[in-house]
Amino acid sequence: MSDATQTMPGIHPTAIVSPRAELGDNVTIGPYAIVGEGCVLGDGSTLEARAVLERNVRLGANVSVGIGTVLGGDPQDLKFRGEETWVEIGDGTRIREYTTINRGTAQSFKTTVGKGCFLMSYVHLAHDCHLGDGVIISNATQLAGHVTIEDRAILSGLSAVHQFVKIGRHSFVGGCSRVAKDVPPFIKAVGNPVKLYGLNSVGLQRSGFSDDVVRELKRAYRLFFRSELNVSQAMERARSELQPLPEVEYFLHFIEESQRGVGF
């Protein structure tokens, strides 16, 4: 830690900051926190006591990192050979105490969290996870590698997500769920194994979705998950019977592109 860094306001004298780190304006670093080489802290970002940025972590503006959290650790992947990889956290995201986020591997070279997310205590994001904006993940939820969570999705506590799973935007996953298949956008899901329980109507209303959009999404859900049709038959019916609203088209595209299949 350079002498200049030691005397910067907002940095506790017991903190350790690499001379190869970059600090923005109005950064706060608490007691015994560690900022490793290659780390970048955006303006107004905060590290609480004993938080650790191991290496190659980029925090956007006004990111808060809770007590004992560890960001930028090596990926827990036997194929990792020391490639230069990153963790990137978007503006305004809050990460609570004892969360861990590992760097990426050569598959995508980074693990990313979008803007305005809220990760509660003891959350784990493994290598090459990618979260959109406004994602909420509750206490002690664990994500394996290569998981994608799209904008405004919510995961309740004590859930586990299998590697390569994709969780669609504005979906809601209930607590203690084991998510081994993709969760379509706009849907509620819960269970071990996870099952689908209709449209996330309350979440969509809170997000300002129109009645027309909600109605068509409900029709799409019933065709795929509450009828005797197989996926191909449901897709054909949906293409011919539903209004081609952007949200409906995205719902259909998600199902078409699913690599792991979707929960029922």
Of all residues in the chain, the percent with pLDDT exceeding 70 is: 97
Cite the residue boundaries of each domain of the chain with CATH code 1.20.1180.10: 205-257
State residue 4's pLDDT score.
Answer: 41
Calculate the average pLDDT of the chain. 96
> Phi then psi for 15, rounded to 5 degrees?
-70, 150
User: Distance between CA atoms of 231 and 237, rounded to whole angstroms?
Assistant: 10
130 is an active site residue: no
pLDDT digits (tens, 9 = 90+) for 93-109: 999 999 999 999 999 99
CATH topology of domain 205-257: Udp N-acetylglucosamine O-acyltransferase; Domain 2 (1.20.1180)
Helix (H, G, I), strand (E, B) or coil at 113: strand
User: Distance between CA atoms of 163 and 158, rounded to whole angstroms?
Assistant: 16
Q: Which of 128, 130, 146, 151 is catalytic?
A: 128
CA atoms within 13 A on the CB side of 213: 16
Spatial neighbors of 213 by CB under 8 A, at least 6 apart, are 204, 245, 247, 248
pLDDT digits (tens, 9 = 90+) for 245-264: 999 999 999 999 999 999 77
State residue 264's pLDDT score.
Answer: 77
Cite the residue boundaries of each domain of the chain with CATH code 2.160.10.10: 3-146
* Element (DSSP H or E) covering residue 237: helix 231-241
Chain-centroid distance of CA 51 in Å reads 20
The structure tokens listed for 182 are 């993709």
In the predicted structure, residue 136 carries a pLDDT above the cut 50: yes
pLDDT digits (tens, 9 = 90+) for 73-97: 999 999 999 999 999 999 999 999 9
128 is an active site residue: yes
State residue 7's pLDDT score.
Answer: 55
In the predicted structure, residue 3 carries a pLDDT above the cut 80: no
In the predicted structure, residue 9 carries a pLDDT above the cut 60: yes
DSSP string, 190-218: EETTEEEEEE-HHHHHHTT--HHHHHHHH
pLDDT digits (tens, 9 = 90+) for 20-46: 999 999 999 999 999 999 999 999 999
Q: Which of 145, 168, 203, 263 is catalytic?
A: 145
Q: How confident is the model at residue 5 (pLDDT cuts 50, 70, 90)?
A: low
User: Distance between CA atoms of 51 and 205, rounded to whole angstroms?
Assistant: 37
182 is an active site residue: no
State residue 1's pLDDT score.
Answer: 37
> Domain 3-146: what homologous superfamily?
Hexapeptide repeat proteins (2.160.10.10)
Q: Which of 44, 124, 127, 203 is catalytic?
A: 127
pLDDT digits (tens, 9 = 90+) for 138-180: 999 999 999 999 999 999 999 999 999 999 999 999 999 999 9
State residue 167's pLDDT score.
Answer: 98
Chain-centroid distance of CA 182 in Å reads 14
